[in-house]
Chain A
Amino acid sequence: MTETIYTAISFAPVQGFIEKSRKLRDLYGASGLLSYLAKQLVEAKPENCSVISPASVNLQQGMPNRILIRGDYPRNLAQQTLLQSWQKILDDSRNWVERRLQSTFPPDSYHWQEVWDKWGRYHWEVFWGHGNSIQAAMDDLETRKLRRDWVAVNWVGESSSLSGVDAIAWPGLGAFNSDPGWPIATAEKQQLDSFYQVLDKSLSHPGTGEDDTTGRFLASNERLSVPELVKRLVTWPQLAKKLGITELESGFTDIHRNTRDGKGQWTGWFMGDGDKVGDHLKEIAKSGDQAIADFSQAMRQWGKTFSQSMPKQKGRVIYAGGDDFLGVLYGQSPDHPLAPKAALEWLMGLNAQWQQHGYDLTVSVGFVWVSPHVPQRDVLQHCRQAQKRSKRLGRDRVTIRIVFNSGQSVQWTCRWQDLGVLTGYCDRNGKRWDETPNWVHLLTDWQHLKARHAIPVKASEEHIDQQIAIEFFEIYFPGYKQYLLNHSQDILGNDDNPRAMIDWIEGAIQVGWYLGSA
């Protein structure tokens, strides 16, 4: 008997690939592509291998990009499979655009194939690990990942804030490769602009009559790089079908976060993942391959249920695969925005929903309630930062961050069981959570105390006394003084500076005021 070999495979970039998105549609495109590529990797496994994780290979959506195989899945095969699948998507997308626009842009006007081919070869890093146990294979992968494996495509000429740092994709890309120094000539610029106008016209949203900038499939003022154009295109129903990528649900519409007349709606974005999943897997692995497969199955089932349980008028789960998820809460239109209180109440139920997968695993979440004009890319970065803060302060927590148009924000990190503290608010007239209490009472009193320096304002003040803050909290949140005192260590987690309790109380007050008001 030869000993059993395990292979672990993963690829990158994942976070970056998703976060560069401009619109909700791109998020789906990016997440769909990642799942599609993971599926191709799993399906290409050699005969004598079996898949331990991800379970349920027949469901493409939410396919995690970390793959565990029992058997020897050669590194070269993994790399080839990924790159060929990606190259095929690029080829098909490019051909599709070229054919669709052939009346305005005849075949000889395209000089961009070489650039697409380069993106095909160099966009992904593939990581691979090998070992005689699941743990050894995963460790081997982590060790190899330390040196990364990227080759990056340089660019010349125009890039835009919308294309990210990379060059804008247009037919002439690649024709003028000689001199990086100067902006492209006027005639070329016109061709670039006209390309996007023609593409926009050709892709006007079928049937919905959306003409608002944010609602179009492609707005004529958008300038995208090759990978971002692909993310967008793979959400086009016909192309998705042709490629075999999971299509968007019928009647998908982008969210109208802001409109041309200056109206807009606040939206809530949540990003989360299980705590210490690596350690958890190590533990489960001791019980054998089947235990890991069961765990993977449970997580995927959870993701599926979680996505389906979200009412479409209220929000969407963008992906939930393995142990991590991303989603958004919104109203139907800027005229019917989502009430912040409804968002907060949904969030209060999230942890219970998470627990339904049945494993003893906690979750850390970043929740960002954000003003209409903050670009989506920034929203996702705020989500990531908020989630990181939850992890850093001790996990099993949610960080609520409220981000304003100016880019300023306030935040509050609390354990899941403390989120309910907000419902304990009682205003001066004795009104409680269900009776629409007036949060202004709380906020103005707090600000008065700060203005009079009864509450220390600066972190550097020498004697920081939390007592007044805690007494104050007791007035508006009756019964919570003793709770805060008894559990302060657990509540504050790793935040061990002397100001932490005051900051926590202030966070609760601000978040309560913004989200608790109906």
Chain B
Amino acid sequence: MTDYKKPLPAISTLNGPYWDGLKQRELKMPSCNDCGKLWYPPAPFCPECWSRNFTWRQLSGRGTVNSWVVFHQAYFSSYKDDVPYNVAEVELEEGPRLLTNLVGIANADIVIGMSVEIVYDDVTDEVTLAKFRPTEQ
């Protein structure tokens, strides 16, 4: 775990609760207590009504594949052994879309619209990434 060489998130005051949530196996996003809007990426006020009165709400972790790509070029040396690897954009049940990697599926089998669910990947002692796998039928 300590020899993880891939890029790690820049954790800030803004997105700290998001990464803390993943570490605790909870997918959390800011949700407005005034108008109900839920948003991502984290922002310090509701993009709908500008309220600062929000809470970090736990989400279901379920969604569908909105689009996806396969990297054939290793832009990072740490990804050299992974190419061709996928990156997908998952649309969560609650609305926001997340970039992620799909696991437990061959790239050739990925289809837009397929149902997926979250998998927590502890890549270092501090960082847990949100990845997604096909939903068990």
B partners with A = no
B: which residues have CB within 8 A of A? none
The interface of chain A, by Cβ under 8 A from chain B, is none
